Amino acid sequence: MAERKDGQVFTAGRSTLLLLAAPVALLAMFLLVPLSLLLLVSFHRYDPRLIVSPVWTPENYLRFFGDPYYRNVLLYTLRIAGVTSGAALVIAYPLAYFLARTTSRFKGWCVFLLLAPLMVGIIVRTYGWLVVLGREGTINSLLLSMGVIHAPLRLLYTNGAVTLGLIEVLLPYMVLPLLSAIQKVDRSVEDAARSLGAPPADVFRHILLPLSVPGILTGVVIVFTLSAGAIVTPALLGSPRSQTMGTLIYQLMTATLNWPFGSSAAFILLAFEALPTIVLLTLIQGRPIRLEALR
């Protein structure tokens, strides 16, 4: 009988490996192999004739960190990504809570409206902000007609315009993980806390917020990485003097054809996206959630 169970376990394990073989092969073929080749290119020297010189050198990375311009581009990108993630979290949490707790028969339509913008291309949505934020756009025209301002405001080509455009594009990616996490929190726990006299702020701080940490972490990581690597929105809404890493890498790869330096910039951005994420995941994973006593 034991041999039969061992055989069944072996068969199940082999079936699992066969099921995993295809996605692992696709992942290796279309992600790991290109990234490995890109990493190799980043350690070569740029040649105007060959594009990628056979000479091995770390000078691309030394040039990036040795030039204040490229360091400022990296810091600006991380700052925009951090502000976008924080603002998206503040906006998305009430919306996710409403969608998780509502019993309306229109809940499905509300979720559909949340996801509907994803069906429209990012370029089209970003050009919409050009119409809204332009000198003769919707906001300036409305403020001028109301007499609030006497001259059009400079809303386009600013850090605020880039942040606003990124929040609008990436907001669903913050709402969905929060929605999933809040739905897993038993409503009876909140009801019990309220019945014991806990004010809404304490219920949120001691119960809902700790239990929704996985959703918060997932949403912040997704929005941070996507906004740090964004190209279209910063290029159309931002100032030409305020480049992000995404637009810099795009120009290096397509305009100047400096593939080695562009590859090194891409891996530097990847490292600054991955390291904080790994540290944050490690800290959160090993710390149990404690519900403090409600008073």
Q: Confidence band (pLDDT; 50, 70, 90) for 294?
A: very low
pLDDT in tens, 114-127: 999 889 889 999 99
- Does pLDDT of 168 surpass 50? yes
Q: Confidence band (pLDDT; 50, 70, 90) for 11?
A: low
For residues 117 and 225, the answer to whether their CB atoms sit within 8 Å is: no
Q: Residue 77: CB partners within 8 Å, gap ≥ 6?
A: 228, 244, 245, 246, 269
How many Å apart are CA 165 and CA 84, to the nearest integer?
A: 9
Residue 178: CB atoms within 10 A of its CB come to 25
Q: What is the pLDDT of residue 87?
A: 96
Calculate mean pLDDT across residues 139-150: 89
Query: Where along the chain do its domains lie?
Result: 38-46+56-285
Instruction: Say what the pTM is.
Output: 0.86
Structural class in CATH, domain 38-46+56-285: mainly alpha
Helix, strand, or coil here: 231? coil
- Of 255, 262, 247, nearest to 46 by C-alpha is 262
Residue 119 token pair? 């069906």
Between 18 and 163, where is the model more confident?
163
Between 79 and 19, where is the model more confident?
79
How many Å apart are CA 22 and CA 194, to the nearest integer?
A: 50
